Amino acid sequence: MLCLGIESTAHTFGVSLVDKGKIHSEERDSYTTESGGIIPRELAEHHTGVCVDLVEKAMVKKPDLVAFSQGPGIGHALRIGAVAARTVSLNCDVPLIGVNHCIAHLEIARRLTKLDDPIMLYVSGGNTQVIGFESGRYRVFGETLDIGVGNLLDAFGRSAGIGFPAGPEIERLARGGKYIEMPYSVKGMDVSFTGMLTKARALLKRHKLRDICFSLQETAFAMLVEVSERAVAHTGKEQLVLTGGVGANSRLQEMCRIMCEERGAEFGAVEKRYAVDNAAMIAHTGLVMYRSGCRTQNTAIKQRWRTDEVEVTWR
Ligand code: ATP
Ligand code: FE2
């Protein structure tokens, strides 16, 4: 069974054709700005501009099913993906299924790492969450109380005159840095990063950039590893998967790996291409859902669709 997936929750418009064992095509185009911010009207223009071409390129065969990211995300962006998906579904006379974007990140992570019941540390620009499957739903055990960890890096990077996105450059600068104490803010399984951002900005006047970058990474990542370990211990799952754009950071991967090794847990990181927003994860999840009997009655977009609102019938 071939499923065409369409992703359009935020900056990336993606289209991918998958079946059970293989990704047949995977196309994407991202809206970017110098500042890193998103102007919804420009975003909509970007997505409408690229969508027909991407669908044509990715649809290397006629699909049997169309999946689209129904939410959560930016309304302007979601609507364009939903219209494109509905059009393909009508043209090909095949069913349409709505997928929760965060759950798609989880499902592609399970598939690619082959860890079937992990705790997932999902760290991107906008999201920082520790998630696990429990009693028929994906539960958010912990999350950021303010900004995402990628947003911490990018916001600091902007103040320090580093381009956007700042994460990779901060990783490079941090090598060989010395530690300066930073606010370490963990509340149960939640984390908070704005205190650290304020401190890091203040340090710019008096300290070497590489020392600040090193200290930001060490502190923020130690917080993430602490809450992930707490979730692993609490649930007894003994598997950890790292995903999202910040998951590309080799120091964060190393710290997660060490924690897992020390407690005899398995660790897997999702390769960057599928850790960031992509349509293969939407197609894969749509397919898994459809095969388990899920059907979407209402195809209206859901801008605020929480991960734990979805009843997981396919596990
Ligand atoms: P989502 O919509 O899922 O929240 P997003 O829009 O934040 O995703 P991603 O591509 O998943 O987009 O993540 C982008 C973030 O990843 C940016 O904040 C960027 O600085 C960060 N990042 C990328 N590479 C690295 C790296 N090597 N180290 C640290 N951070 C990184
Ligand atoms: Fe995402």
Indicate the pTM of the whole model: 0.94
Query: Distance between CA atoms of 268 and 315, rounded to whole angstroms?
Result: 20
Locate the ligand 1 atom nearest the alpha carbon of residue 275 and give its number: 11
Q: Which of 217, 180, 218 is nearest to 199 (CA)?
A: 180
The residue whose CA is least distant from atom 29 of ligand 1 is: 167
Q: Which CATH superfamily is domain 114-274 in?
A: ATPase, nucleotide binding domain (3.30.420.40)
User: Closest ligand 1 atom, CA of 11?
Assistant: 6
- Average pLDDT of 129-147? 97
Alpha-carbon distances of 252 from 44, 187, 192, 242, 271, rounded to whole Å: 34, 20, 17, 9, 14
76 close to 41: Cβ distance less than 8 angstroms: yes
Report pLDDT digits (tens) over 41-78. 999 999 999 999 999 999 999 999 999 999 999 999 99
Decide which of 3.40.50.720, 3.30.1360.70, 3.30.420.40, 1.10.3210.10 is the CATH code for 3-104+277-309: 3.30.420.40
How do the domains of the chain map onto residue ranges?
3-104+277-309, 114-274
Q: Which residues approach ligand 1 with their CB closer than 6 A?
A: 10-11, 124-127, 150, 153-154, 165-168, 171, 244-246, 248-249, 276-277
pLDDT value, residue 126 = 87
242: β partners: 121, 269
What would the pLDDT profile of 151-166 be if each residue is shown by its tens digit?
Answer: 999 999 999 999 889 9
Q: Which residues pair with residue 6 across a beta bridge?
A: 15, 68
pLDDT bin (cut points 50, 70, 90) of residue 34 is confident
The rounded Å distance from CA 275 to ligand 2 centre is: 8
Give the residue among 138, 159, 272, 256 at the shortest CA–CA distance from 213.
159
Coil vs helix vs strand at 171: helix
